Amino acid sequence: MEIAGSVVVVTGASSGIGRATALALLQRGATVVGVARDAGALSELAGRGLVPAPADVTDFAAVEGVVRETTERFGRVDAWVNCAGVIQFGAFLDVPLDDVRRVLDVDLMGYVHGCRAVLPGMVERDHGVIVNVASILGIVALPYGAAYSMAKFAIRALAVSLRQELRTSGVRGVRVGTVLPAAIDTPIWRDAANHSGARPRLAAPTYSPERVARTILNQIRRPRREVVAGGMLGRLLLLQHKVWPESAERLFAAEVGRYVLVRGGGPVDDPGNLYDPPDRPRRVHDGWNGLRRERARRLAAGLGLAAAVGAAVGLARR
């Protein structure tokens, strides 16, 4: 699918990966409909070409309304990016059950609603792409974040089931792909619900939301089953988990305890943005230096390549 001229709906478009994706699509000539609860944040992006569609993805009727209005205005939906998400931190026995349900409603049922609302039109036209943004935490689960990982595991299963159903139904023009981001510098950590008594932080290596956005755009152009968006460390963790899962889980739990949840000084009863949008400015990054580290890694890789080429030329002249 060509990005330029396509009609794409992005949920969670007010901040983080969703916002970065919406902006990347706009830069490449797509018509972008942005979905989020925060109407004010969407209106900020309207000046850059975004079509605001304020809606809560937990409300299926509202999501259906987005599909209906988009189709009436632009004639179709070429691609749908499910990216709305919230997260909470806390021990499984300490987190209120209502908060667990809310995370699953947003992070999983929000994706189900998007797929249910947009698929009938795509199937009828035999044309379209759905991209579900899951996480590598949907393969190696996050301790003290069970609801988030449960949703991300289920999102992967949703995509697999849909691909099988579409294939057996003879629908060849509709594709479903999944993106698995690693540790990404977005405000989701700042806005998290928290019952842990610790202050969550994003441990290195961190990556920029723009990197994930590029992966999402590639999925729209040429969908693949699952694609990791992040560096080598995340891929190595997934490989270790595939070969030796017990070791990977033990290592990851230790890393979370040492670097991610810093004990002391954190809230024990903070609903974060589970039920209402945060009252802070919405943005792509959150100051974890994902973009700066991306540039440093690219510079280091370029210097390393230049040094290797120089050494090879030197050896060839001897």
Q: What pLDDT, in 10s, does the model give residues 25-43?
A: 999 999 999 999 999 999 9
Residues 309 and 233 in one domain: no
The whole-angstrom separation of Cα 147 and Cα 227 is 22
Residues 46 and 73 in one domain: yes
pLDDT tens digits, 294-318: 444 343 333 333 333 343 334 444 4
| Residue 39 resides in a domain | yes
Residues 22 and 153 in one domain: yes
CATH of the domain at 265: 3.40.50.720
| Residue 117 resides in a domain | yes
Q: What's the mean pLDDT in 277-287?
A: 80
Residues 272 and 309 in one domain: no
pLDDT(106) > 50: yes
pLDDT tens digits, 64-81: 999 999 999 999 999 999
Residues 138 and 170 in one domain: yes
The whole-angstrom separation of Cα 59 and Cα 275 is 13
Average pLDDT, the chain: 87
Residues 175 and 314 in one domain: no
| Residue 18 resides in a domain | yes
Q: Which two tokens stand for residue 281?
A: 């400015």
Residues 53 and 183 in one domain: yes
The number of distinct structural domains making up the chain is: 2
| Residue 2 resides in a domain | no
pLDDT(248) > 60: yes
pLDDT tens digits, 199-241: 887 777 889 999 999 999 999 999 999 999 987 777 787 888 8
111 as an active site residue: the answer is: no
| Residue 205 resides in a domain | yes
| Residue 15 resides in a domain | yes
Show the domain range for 40.
7-287
| pLDDT more than 70, % of the chain | 88
Catalytic residue among 111, 144, 148, 207: 148
Residues 162 and 197 in one domain: yes
| Residue 146 resides in a domain | yes
For the entire predicted model, the pTM comes to 0.86
| Residue 1 resides in a domain | no
